[in-house]
Each structure stands twice: as structure tokens, then as C-alpha cells.
Amino acid sequence: MSNPIEIAPDEIIVVDELRKFFGAVEAVKGVNLRVKRGEVVVVIGPSGSGKSTVLRCINHLEVPTSGAVYLDGIHLEDRRTNINQVRTEVGMVFQQFNLFQHLTVLDNVIVAQRLVRKRSNEEARRIAMEQLTRVGIPEKANVLPRQLSGGQQQRVAIARALAMTPKVMLFDEPTSALDPEMIKEVLDVMLELAQDGMTMVVVTHEMGFARAAASRLVFMDQGRIVESGDPEEMYHKPQHQRTRDFFNKILTHG
Amino acid sequence: MAVRPEQEQSVMDIWIEGRQWERFPWWFVGILGAILFMIFKIVSDPQYTRAYNAILPGLRLTLYITVVAFLAAVAIGLIAGLGRISQNFVLRNLATLYIEFVRGVPTLVLISTVAFVIVPGVANLLGIQTPRDQTPRAIAALAVIYGAFLAEVFRAGIESIPPGQMEAARSLGMTHFQAMIYIILPQAIRNMLPALGNDLIAMLKDSSLVSVLAVREITQEARLYSGSTFRFSETYLILTLLYLIMTIILSLLLQWYQRRLRNE
């Protein structure tokens, strides 16, 4: 399959001229983004800037109005693309955790492995326990999600996504619904994941995480990427007035 | 519960002061009284005994029709409910057409319509013999009618599950169908249980309507017996209390089951 745009072999995510309308509102106004294997891209920006929409287009939960997304060279908007197969390679972590409420923690991590990856029960169980150990809560395997704290639920959600052995992990404001004292435990898991070389795209307001883990920082406003670059550089010397304003707003109380 | 009397107080005093008597289900005592009265009458009064013996053979058919028709209605309701929220406009409109059609016609009329128009029509279309026995027609009629009600129950049940559950399932690579079966429906059905239980009780009561098809369930037996003996008051008193016993038992079972689910 030949693609109309050039994609380097190490570029696992390519977002090309992405636009998205919700009714008459244009949420994303032409975004271009290229992510290399092993990169950790942190996307920041005020609410309504379109950053979550871009993220949701990367695993086709949102269908772009125009433009294209390529995952490992596969064009998502192509009718011939099996989107379910592509999604097994892309883990997603949501703001509201979205754990399956009727299943135990262990079954949450097992169910998609069995149905989608077609793994045997023993293998799925072994991988699930590995991932639960990785996020630090193997002892909660047999409880229901509602018996866990928000931070624990989010860590299970990360384990659930990791158990599919994805090539890319997407995080959609993973700590925004958490009580302050639980943010760190989730960020620690994410930081470790970044250090292990996982390719990650993270939408967040946590500047501390961005500076510690990001290989690139992207600032979005009003549906466009305003600037992107090295996190420290951007943090200390933002090139654009809007970036400067945003940093001032989120940092005055931090 | 933990009322500790400071001084000498009789149990009666505590009971009345704690207004426990207001919480006691007196209505149940009334129903129990009526049932016991009926049993006494059936045992002691030969007219009641005869009426009771005439109606009772229909009880198996009443229960059989209710259970089979309800299971069929659940299947129809699931399919029509999924159709109602489908992205496919043909399926969505077909499901809505069915539901609105059933809701717009009186139940008693619809039973005859299904039995005499739709069942022979479908049988013709499939090239099979229309069943001579009226019971399958009665079951088909009740299933079609309650399928439409249950479709709305299923739709509401599915819509009660936050969209994030479907998104999470799809993001893991599950198909829409897998997500529905393994993630959404198990949660939706839990939320639907009270409504399903109510519809089962309603179905039991509405099974009396298939007596217009001369299906010999308890209402039909009562009609036949009272018509030939003119013992209307005995017959219908027994019939009324028979339905009451069944619905009360069902309702208590459902309450017990729901309480068990909540405490899980």
C-alpha cells in the first residue's frame, strides 16, 4: 500500500492536516504531528483547544472530518483498514478510567486479551498479573473496581491497556479526575513506562510530568498546534505570547 | 432496632413509641387473610370446591404460556431494542415501526390480530402449516406485544451505561458486537432487572387475555365453568385470588432477589 505522504520507517504516528468539526464548531483546524518510536509527546493547552480530539482521532474513537492518521504506516481512515486490529496496537487511558464495573480487576485486564488477542486463559492471566504487578497492585486482582480508589482504578486501567502489548500508549488527561494525593502514584507509573521506552502521547496539565518525561512538548490552542519543542526550552523560553500566557495561568498557583 | 429501655418498659410500649406498627406491612396481612379465607371456603363449601376444581387444570397452561412467551419476548425485545439504537437507519426505523405499531393498538385487539392475521400470514410466507392449536398463537401474540415493551426496557438499560464503557472496550480492539455482549449488556441487564420483573408480572396478568382465543388457561376455564353453572361469584372470587397469589409470590421473589443483588 502506498501512502500519499512520506512516512519515515521510525515514525509510528503521523497526523496529517487533521480537521474535525462537531456540528458547526471546528474543534481541530489542521493539525500535523509526527511521533517517532520511543518518543514521549506531551500535549498541553487550555480546555477546548482540541488536544483530546486529536488524541481520540489517533485510535479512531473520533473520525476526522478531513485529513489522515497513519499508525505504523496504516491509514486509519481507509475503508479497507481493520480498525479493531489497529486498536490492539494502541492502548488508551481515559480521564474517567472507564474500568468495566461488572468485572473484577483481574477480569478487566483479561477480557480483551481473550476476546481480541485470542490468548489462552492461563497466558492472559499470567500477563494480567505481570501488568498488575508492574503498576503496583497485584493484591487487588480479585476486587471490583468500585472498591478501589481513583488512583488505583487508573493504574488498573493502565495495566489493562498494557496487557494488550500495544506499540503506542495514549493518555487522555489521566490525572484530571483524581484527588491530589493520588496523582503522584499514577504519574510514577507513567514515568516508569516512559523510561522503559514506550511510545506515548499524553494529554495533561501536569507540567512536572512533562518536564520529567517528555521528549517533546506540544502546545495547542484553538484547534491548532501553536508551538512544539524541547520541554525545558519551551518552559523557560516560550516563543509565542499564547504559550507564555498559558504557562503563567497554570503555574501561578503551582 | 437498638432501642434500649432505660426503665421498665413493656415490649408493647417500645413497639408503639417506636412507631414500628406504622412500618409493619399491614396490607400483606389483608391479602393473606383473603387467601386464607378462600382456602377455607374451598375446603368447606362444595360450590367453591367445584369451581376450584374446574379452574385449576388451566393453571399449568397459564404458567406455561407466561414463561414461554416471556422468554420469547425477552429475545424479541433485545433484538428490537438493539435495532432502536442502531446506527443503521433501516434497522432503526424497522424497530421503531414495530414498537410504535404495538403501542398504538389495544392489547386485547392485538392478540386477535397476531393470532388470526400475522401468524397465518407468516406461516403462509414460510410455506408451513398454521398450527391448529391456539396455544402457540397465544404465545406468539403475547411475545410480540411484550417484545415491544421490553425493547424500550432494553434501550433504556443500554443507554443507562456510560458511553465510556463502550469506548474503553472499543479502544482495546473489541468489535461493537463483542463490547455489547461482554461489557454493555451484563451491566445493562442488572439495571433492567426491576423493570423486567414488573413486566413478567404484567405478562402473567395479561395471559388472561388470551382466553379470547379459547385457550384453556385459568381465565378461560373460569369463563366456561361460570357460563355453564351460573356460579359467577364463586368462580371469579377464586380466579381473582389465584392471580393474586401468583403475582404476590412473584413480587416477593423479585424483591428478595433485588435485595440480594444490592447487598452483593
Report the alpha-carbon distance of residue A213 to residue A165 in Å, rounded: 21
Mutate to test the interface with A, among B172, B174, B176, B181 (most CBs of A within 10 A): B172
Give the pLDDT of residue A252: 60
B171 in Cβ contact with A93 (< 8 Å): no
Cell output for B213: 382465543
CATH of the domain spanning B60-214: 1.10.3720.10
pLDDT score of B225 more than 80: yes
pLDDT of residue B263: 75
Residue whose C-alpha is closest to residue A210's, from A156, A247, A155: A247
The alpha-carbon gap from B68 to the nearest alpha carbon of chain A, in Å, equals: 29
- Confidence class of residue B1 from pLDDT cuts 50, 70 and 90? very low
Q: Within 13 A of B102's CA, how many CA atoms are on the CB side? A: 24
pLDDT tens for each residue of B32-71 = 898 898 889 888 999 989 999 999 999 999 999 999 999 9
Task: Give the least confident one: A140-149, B107-116, B131-140.
Answer: B131-140
CB contact under 8 A, A94 and B182: no
- Domain chopping of chain B, boundaries: 60-214
* φ/ψ (deg, to 5) at A168: -135, 145
The fraction of chain B above a pLDDT of 70, given in percent, is 93
- Say which of B167, B178, B186 has its CB closest to residue A98: B167
- Considering the entire predicted model, what is its pTM? 0.84
- Asked if A101's CB is within 8 angstroms of B187's CB, the reply is yes
ipTM: 0.92
**What residues of chain A score a pLDDT lower than 70?**
1-4, 251-254
CA proximity to B222, closest of B12, B62, B97, B78? B62
- Identify the H or E element spanning B103: helix B89-103
- In three-state secondary structure terms, B204 is helix
CB A50 within 8 A of CB A20: yes
Q: Which residue has the higher pLDDT, B27 or B90?
A: B90
pLDDT of B7 reads: 57
Rounded distance between C-alpha atoms, residue B70 and residue B144, angstroms: 10
Cβ count near B39 (within 10 Å):
14
B187 touches chain A (CB under 8 A): yes
